[in-house]
Amino acid sequence: MRSTSLLIALLLASAPAWSAPLREQFTVIAGGNPVGHLKVDHQGERIAIDFDYKNNGRGPTLAETLRLDARGLPVEWRISGNTTFGSKVQESFELDADGLARWRDSVGEGEADVDNSSLYIGQAASPWALGLYARALLGAEDGRLPALPGGEVRVEAGERIEAGSGEQRVQLRFHSISGLSLNPSYFLLDESGAFFGVVSPSFAVIRAGYEADAQRLGERADVLGRLRLEAIQTATAHRYEAPIRIRNVRVFQPEQLALSAAVDVLVFGRRIAGIQPAGSPTTPGEVLIEGEGGTLVPGLYEMHGHIGQEAATLNLAAGVTSVRDMGNDNASLQRLIDSIKAGTVAGPRIHRSGFIEGRSPFNSNNGRLVASEAEALDAVRWYAARGFHQVKLYNSMNPAWSTALVAEAHRLGMRATGHVPAFANADQMIEAGYDELTHINQILLGWVLSPEEDTRTLLRLTALKRVADLDLSSPRVRATMDSIVAKKVAVEPTIAIHENLLLNQDGEVPQGAVAYIDNLPVGAQRDAKRSWADMSAPGDAEAYAAAWQKLLATLREMHARGVLLIPGTDLGGSFAYHRELQLFEAIGLTPAETLRRATLDMARYLGEEQSLGSIEHGKLADFFLIPGDPTADLRETLKIRMVVMDGVVYFPSEIHPFFGIKPFAEKPTVALPDAPAA
């Protein structure tokens, strides 16, 4: 076996010189506000890292210790602390003198002979590790290396940029590493190869003293990501300047809760030009797409997104052609909407919700932050003037302002929804006039918390353990249920995210990911097999599991009593959205009813049923093709062969490889006019 020193030499032969300072310090910024720190102390070959930030009342607290070889790669790495949602971290990695690597992370233990020059990827590592990986990869052939525990990572050096001024001016270069997740990580190294920061328009970890540069650098990183997605769009968007005939398909009909007989569906431009009996005569110049007896399903509505440009493309490939964004960096969201409308980036239609949050030590740094009722009312008016369809009130909002804010939203033609602000309950928000309640935990907490308990922290998640002992027939529960029904308040439960929180266990495939995890890249699979909540205390796992059953029982009753339950994930949509639909079946809807809820019902809820929500003559061409019958098995909706949005045709089997995803189905046969089948 190669010795460790030889291994390091091979990895770093052409890497940039890097001389570490005694101490590095970085500021964590969210929404333009400092929310934490990253501190790195160098003590010879040993490094100690302190990484801690809190945004929206939660965030990771991690301590790392590394021992580096003389050339700069770790031969020992230990990480401890807790993740954003509280689960404990105890990760370790060791590389011995014979090249045997051993590690332990949340998935379990492993070992490997690293004669192949593999690079260990810290599962819970701080962003500082990006610089470490980059220096190793820049010294490797083609900038790529096999990764431990699996997969491959590669680095690309990008454009140069400056930060600071005067004596503080520093020359930087963007880099991206692919293989860590579905999308590349964009970050900055200085001229010596030292980590400078990871930046985006809404979040940054940046070298102390350069905080004023974070927004500008983040916007440039956003552009780099968009250029990648524009290239994907160019390679995968099929704009046929001819009528398109999709032959021999059945159409899911939401009103009838059934599939049609075999038909041909014609598209011309942006709209559905006709639906004809299967086998009808074609006309000269048509593009012919063979449906082979499969099913066309109207485009899906993901009703709880915080969408970014990478997620936009993946949602479209998953048949999600409309997303309701529930709070975002407003400028970034507008840029994304403009790119999608211009056709330069693939993505769904986006309906914007105006996020309004009160200022507090626990506030989320998103949307509009306000410190008074007058400022909050101004925020409502700001959103109304810019075409937002609703406002969303959040955790740190003073609940006493809710009635006035909801009334103003209604006066201006908007809906009002949101979390239940801290020190209030769902009953008060219903009384204030909420049209919709967001997240089922926001309702459940009102039944198990006392008035002085603060839900601006992780308590709004960890207190769900108490739901295990909740009596759903108690007067407190009955009063809220009756009020929701009587006032026709919609509920957007985000069931799948609660499943992850309450059931996910370290080292186990999550129930919600069973149908798709094997198609994901190794790094994404590894990250999925992590618990969210801290379940280390005796009885906690059992209490969370019992709370999950009580949550489902609550939703079953709501459905049985006619409450409009709205499908949304708060998990980025895409594959998670398909799991959300499966869980709607678990609370009492049939597969066909679930599909109607995700299509025509949501089009009606957003007032666009004249153009969307079903596959009918004259409506916009938004739908996707699958081989099976989704009214018999909702898992069939994952096997998407083709997506059409606004008349533009996409094949997920062409999109997914750009994200390291193994396609779920082959694209259909396409014959262009006067050309053989492709």
- Domain segments of the chain as ranges: 4-235, 299-606
Residues lower than pLDDT 70 in the chain: 1-20, 71, 115-116, 675-678
List residues bridging with 175 in a β-sheet.
157, 187
DSSP string, 169-230: -EEEEEEEEESSSSSPEEEEEETTS-EEEEE-SSEEEEETT-GGGHHHHHHHHHHHHHHHHH
Q: Residue 114 has what pLDDT?
A: 82
Q: Residue 118 has what pLDDT?
A: 82
The hierarchical CATH code for the domain 299-606 is 3.20.20.140
Whose structure tokens read 């052939």? 141
- 504 burial via Cβ count (<10 Å: 0-12, 13-18, 19+): buried
Q: Residue 74 has what pLDDT?
A: 87
Q: Residue 162 has what pLDDT?
A: 97
Residue 401 and residue 352 in contact, taking contact as beta carbons nearer than 8 Å = no
Helices (H) and strands (E) in the chain, counts: 18, 33
Tell me how far apart the alpha carbons of residues 553 and 587 are, in angstroms, rounded to a whole number: 7
Residue 639 and residue 626 in contact, taking contact as beta carbons nearer than 8 Å = yes
Candidates 241, 10, 207; CA nearest to 114 is: 10
Q: Residue 631 has what pLDDT?
A: 98
Q: Residue 340 has what pLDDT?
A: 97
